[in-house]
Amino acid sequence: MTRLFEVTQRDGAARLGKLSWRDEELTTPRSLESKEELHFLKELTIHKAEIDATVVAAQEKTSVEQIDADVVILAGATRFRDDPRGLTKALLGARKLANPDSALYVPALATPKNVSLLVYAGVDLVDSIMAEVKAREGYFFDADGERRFEEVSRRPCFCDACNGANVTELSFEHRVTLASDHNKKALKAELNKIAENIERGTLRELVEGRCRAAPTLTALLRLLDDEYNYFEQRSPIVRTATLLACSQESLNRPEIRRFGERVINRLQRRDGALLLLPCSARKPYSHSRSHRIILAHLDKLRQYLNEAIITSPIGVVPRSLEITYPASNYDIPVTGKWTCDERERVIGRLSQYLSTNAFESVVAHVSGPCRQICDAAAEPLGINVVHTVNDENILSSASLQRLHAVAQELIDACSPAWRDLRFDYMRDLADFQFGPHASEAIFPENPKIRGFFPTYYASDRGLRLATITGKYQTLALTIEGARRYLRACEGRYCVQIDDFEPKGTVFAIGVLNADPDIRPFDEVIVVNDRVIAVGRALMSGWEMQASKRGGAVALRHVEAR
C-alpha cells in the first residue's frame, strides 16, 4: 500500500501530488535535481526501504498485476527520446500497471520542451539529467525548444543563472556550466507553469502550444490522443476553464468525443421538427446576440421545436446541453472557413444525430459552409433540409420571416405537443450525466420547474428533486431525486462505502465499490446500509476503487436510509 504519495488534484491524466520524502514534503510534478535525491531514490529501489519504489522495465508487455508502490520508475525511459510510439506504449503501460496513487517517475528524459506532455500523460516525477546532458552537448533550453550555443547571438535569458553573462564571449566550459544551471531552472519554471495549468484545468492548452513547433512532440500528442479510453477515464466531466480548440489536435480532445457520444447514446429520442442553428462566439449560445434575435423572432413557436446548434469542434449541441461543458465554454479561431477535418467530423456527428432521432422535418437557419454541412449530413439519410437563409445574413429580416413562416407551417402540419423548455434542460442533463432513462426515473411527467436560466430546479408535489448548480452547471440530485434514480438504476453512479456515517468528504480508503463510469466532478450517490448521500466525485470511479488515499466524494447532503 502506498503511504507516502497522495494525489491532491487532477486534470485528465495529469496530477498534482504530495510526496513525503526524507522529512520534507515534495509537491509533484517535480524534477529531482541533486545527485543526492537521485541516489536516495535509487537506494530505495534496491533496498525496498521507506518508500517502496519499484522499477518497471519499459517492456512492450506490461500486463502483470498492479504495482502497489509509492514510486514506480519507468526504467530506461531515455531510449524513447525520439520514439513517440514506444514512449506512448511505455508511459501508458506503466501508468496502468502502477496503482493510481503511485507516483510515476520517468528518469533521464524530461526537458523543458517535452515535460508538459509527460505530465499530461500521467508522469509525476522527472529529473534534470537530460537538461544537464543537453547543456554539455551545447544546448540552451527553454520551453520553446533548444538552441546551440553558436546560435545564441543575444543574451538568451534573464534568469539568475544567465544574469549579466555575455554568453557569446564565454569559453565552452563556462557556457556549459551556465547552460546547465539555466536548463535546470528552465525545467523548474516549466514545471511550475504546468502545476498552475493543472490547477486551472488548462494543461491541454499548454501542451498543444508546446508541441506546435516540435514534430516528435506533436506525434506524441496524436498518439496519446489515440488512447481515448485512457484519457477519457481520467477526464473531468466539467471544467471552469474555457476549452480552446486552436489546433487540429484539439478536435481529438477526449471531452469532445465523449460529449458527442453521450448526445447519441444517452439522450432520449426526439421527434417532431428540428431547427439547426449556427454557433455563436458567446456562450451559452442563447445569450449571444444572434441567438437572442432568432429566438425572440420565433417566440412561442420554440416550445414546439427541437433546437440544435452546429459547431466545430463539438459537432451537434442540442439546445438543452448548451449549458454544460464543453459546449458551455469553448472557443475556436473563427475565420468563416472550415477545414476538411472539421467539416467531416461535424457532418459525421450531425448524420448520427439525425439518424438516432426521428425528426419528421429539419429546418436549417444557417448560412455559408454550414449550409453545405447540413445537406451533406442529411442527404444520404433521405432527409430533406428546409433552408431558411439564402444568400443573406442569418439575421436579415427576410430570412427571419422565412424561418417563422416555415416553422409555423411545420407545426401546423404535425401539431407537436407543447413543452416546457426549462424542463428540456433538466431532462437532457439528467440523461447526459446519469445515463439513458435517468430522467424518466428521476422526474415525473410534468415536474414543477422554477428558477432562472440556467439554475433551474425541479420538484414534484413539493419535494425538490434536482437543481442545476451554479458553478459547473451540472444537475445535482437531492436525496429524494437520488432515491428515485436508485430505484430504477441501482448501482449506476453509485459509491458504496463502508459502514460509517460520512461527513464532508468521503475518502478513497472508505470506498468499497464505485461505478467505474464515474468521472471527476460527476454528481454521484453515496450509499451504505445506514445512509444515502449525494455529492460530487473528486476522482474517477475506478480510481476510488483502486486508491487508498485522497478524497473521493465531496458530499452535499446526507440522510438516513
Partner 1 sequence: MKKQYEARRHLPRKSARDTSGRRAQSSERFAWAGWDLLNSNVVPSLTVILTTKGCSWARRDGCTMCGYTIDSNPDARGSDIQKQFHEVLAHYGKEFKIIKIFTSGSFLDQDEMPIDARDAILSELKGMPKVIVESRPEFVTPEICADITRTNEHIEVAIGLETSNDYIRNNYVNKGFSFRDFVSASEAAHANSFTVKAYLLLKPPFLTEREALEDALQSVRDAAPHADTLSLNLCNVQKGTLVETLWKKGLYRPPWLWSAVEVLRRTQETATVICDPIGGGRRRGPHNCGKCDREVVAEIKDFSLSQNSASFTASCTDQMLWEFVLEFEEFSYGAPLVP
Q: Which residues bind partner 1 (CB under 8 A)?
A: 35, 38-39, 42, 45, 55, 57, 73, 75-81, 83, 107-108, 127, 129-130, 132-133, 136-138, 172-173, 176
Dihedral sign for Cα 394, 400, 405, 408, please. Answer: positive
Cα gap 551→8, rounded to integer Å:
8
Task: Assess contact for 350 and 373: CB atoms under 8 A.
Answer: yes
Q: Using the 8-state DSSP alphabet, how is residue 67 labeled?
A: B
Cα gap 404→294, rounded to integer Å:
9
Cα gap 118→39, rounded to integer Å:
22
CB of 474 to partner 1, least distance (A): 43
CB of 123 to partner 1, least distance (A): 14
- With a CB cutoff of 8 Å and minimum separation 6, the contacts of 249 are 208, 211, 218, 221, 222, 225
In 365-460 the beta strands, taken as DSSP E runs, fall at 385-387, 448-450, 457-460
CB of 89 to partner 1, least distance (A): 13
Closer CB to partner 1, residue 128 or residue 528? 128
Closer CB to partner 1, residue 172 or residue 500? 172
First CA to last CA distance, the chain: 33
Instruction: Please state the separation of Cα 491 from the chain's center in Å.
Output: 24
Closer CB to partner 1, residue 133 or residue 152? 133
Q: Using the 8-state DSSP alphabet, how is residue 445 labeled?
A: S
Q: Which helix (H) or strand (E) holds 147?
A: strand 145-148
CB of 80 to partner 1, least distance (A): 7
Closer CB to partner 1, residue 79 or residue 448? 79
Closer CB to partner 1, residue 129 or residue 198? 129
Cα gap 420→248, rounded to integer Å:
39
Closer CB to partner 1, residue 138 or residue 416? 138
CB of 88 to partner 1, least distance (A): 15
Closer CB to partner 1, residue 77 or residue 279? 77
Neighbours of 462 (CB within 10 A): 6
CB of 67 to partner 1, least distance (A): 15
Q: What's at 248, amino acid-wise?
A: Q
CB of 60 to partner 1, least distance (A): 10
